[in-house]
Amino acid sequence: MSVLQPVRGTHDLLPDEARRHRLVEEIAFDVARRYGFGEIITPIFEFTEVFSRNLGETTDVVSKEMYSFTDRSGEGLTLRPEGTAGVARAFISGGLSQHLPLKLFYRGPMFRYERPQKGRLRQFHQLGVELLGVEGSQADVEVIALAAHILEALGLKDNVRLELNSLGDAASRANYRDALVAYLSGRKDQLSKDSLERMERNPLRVLDSKDESDRQVVADAPLMQDYLNDESRRFFDEVQNGLAAAGVPVTLNSRLVRGLDYYCHTAFEFTTTALGAQGTVLAGGRYDGLIGQMGGPATPGIGWAAGIERLSMLFAGEAPVVRPLVLIPMGTADAAVGLAQRLRHAGFTVETGYSGNMKKRLARANKVNARAAIILGEEEWARQAVAVRDLDSGEQEEVPLAALEDRLSRFR
Ligand code: ATP
Ligand code: MG
């Protein structure tokens, strides 16, 4: 361990990467606003029970991935591994049930103790949405269409595929669970140790196993779609029809389950083949029972979350960079400080080299891709003027100070 290295599974977003990261967030939020979503910012840690009771104790996240600790007054706290439980908790604590339907967007760091790999970190970032208070399938259609729209705005439309499934209502899921357990029970010798345990406690999650032998067993398992009751089937049909009307292409995948326990009906993932094993960029589903189960007023919900690092790796766009103006003082240092402040307050991006002769400062101006240099020569300054050099054309002219902002406006 070297304390000069970032902690395993964490990474620094150095300026270039930070700019991409923020751009991805901004593009996403900009699209989400058009659908009426507003931002919610919840704490990065919560009481451990917010997650342990609600995500499902047999899920990977709760059973082995949480960063939990006891604080100095003995409270059991956990760094949030995902966003939905905290948003649901905030909805209840904030008494927001008077304001339904509610459309919330969030972004920020999440923490999971996992084996770090490309696209898999211990501190990573998600952006996500939650739509609370709508029972009907229009909500499912809208949040999935929003996800597709965001991915399109990021230029990823052709890199991703929407996979969709229905987990049905509780009754459908119970029927399916029985059928699945009966099937798996006959093939215990082929199942991994993890899946044997899942079979006892949460059999649907066997479908999600990444173990090769498990996958072979799962390939012939009964299909959820054959166990949906009429109501669940109708809901699923409505979602598919709505997505067709919204122009969002869908691939049905009846093995798709979600890693957390609170989901029902709609489950979906946008996957890519461009990131190796970490193929899911955005995932979500409907969670009608969650808020009630947490002790709040029964409130339906649906949402999704996307990994910003995974989006960033796929995103080819460039953040627009403002080309600065560079001030070059020639024995007029205080004057340059004053002028730099004046121009920044007027909205210009201004760099002042900190030292060096004219040549060195011009080289630096080149390096920061400056648009123009403003040279404060002593003689010009005595005449209340500066020299402005267009660094693209090389043209230079003398500009009276009084007309400076006006003359510089073409370099914005
Ligand atoms: P996976 O199967 O990859 O572990 P998951 O089902 O645990 O994913 P979710 O809880 O659905 O993931 O999180 C939604 C999204 O957040 C994922 O699709 C992914 O883009 C991102 N994500 C999840 N865990 C990590 C991580 N450890 N590092 C980076 N991104 C992550
Ligand atoms: Mg995971």
Q: What is the CATH number of the domain that holds 63?
A: 3.30.930.10
Residues 93 and 117 in one domain: yes
User: 118 φ, ψ to 5°?
Assistant: -55, 125
Residues 103 and 248 in one domain: yes
Our separate counts of H helices and E strands in the chain read 15, 16
Alpha helices in 42-165 (DSSP H): 48-52, 60, 84-93, 137-153
- Ligand 1 pocket: which of 124, 253, 255 to mutate (most atoms within 8 A of CB): 124
Condensed to tens digits (0 to 9), the pLDDT of residues 342-392 reads: 999 999 999 987 888 889 999 999 999 999 999 999 999 999 999 999 999
**The tokens of 265 are what?**
């009906």
Condensed to tens digits (0 to 9), the pLDDT of residues 187-221 reads: 999 999 989 988 988 899 899 888 999 999 999 99
Cβ–ligand 1 distance for 278 under 6 Å, the answer yes
Prediction pTM value: 0.92
Q: Give me the mean pLDDT over the 7-34 stretch.
A: 96
- CB 358, CB 328: distance < 8 Å: yes
Q: Tell me which of 287, 314, 341 is where a domain ends.
A: 314
- Ligand 1 pocket: which of 269, 278, 309 to mutate (most atoms within 8 A of CB): 278
The DSSP H or E segment spanning 388 is: strand 385-390
User: 297 lies in a domain?
Assistant: yes
What's the 307 CA to ligand 1 centre distance in angstroms? 6
* Single-letter residue type at 187: R
User: 212 lies in a domain?
Assistant: no
- Residue 46: count of CB within 10 angstroms of its CB: 17
Residues 60 and 156 in one domain: yes
- Residue 403 pairs with which residues in a beta bridge? none
CA quadruple 172, 54, 101, 29: dihedral sign: negative
User: 73 φ, ψ to 5°?
Assistant: -105, 15
Cβ–ligand 1 distance for 256 under 6 Å, the answer no
- Indicate which residue's Cα is closest to atom 5 of ligand 1: 259
Examine the pLDDT at 260 and tell me if it is beyond 90.
no
The parent domain of residue 348 ranges over 325-411
What's the 163 CA to ligand 2 centre distance in angstroms? 17
Residues 58 and 122 in one domain: yes
Q: Is the peptide bond before 101 cis (omega within 30 degrees of 0)?
A: yes
Q: What is the pLDDT of residue 355?
A: 83
Q: Tell me which of 265, 283, 314 is where a domain ends.
A: 314
Is residue 133 a known part of a binding site?
no
Condensed to tens digits (0 to 9), the pLDDT of residues 72-104 reads: 999 999 999 999 999 999 999 999 999 999 999
- CB 267, CB 288: distance < 8 Å: no
Cβ–ligand 1 distance for 85 under 6 Å, the answer no
User: 208 lies in a domain?
Assistant: no
Is residue 227 a known part of a binding site?
no
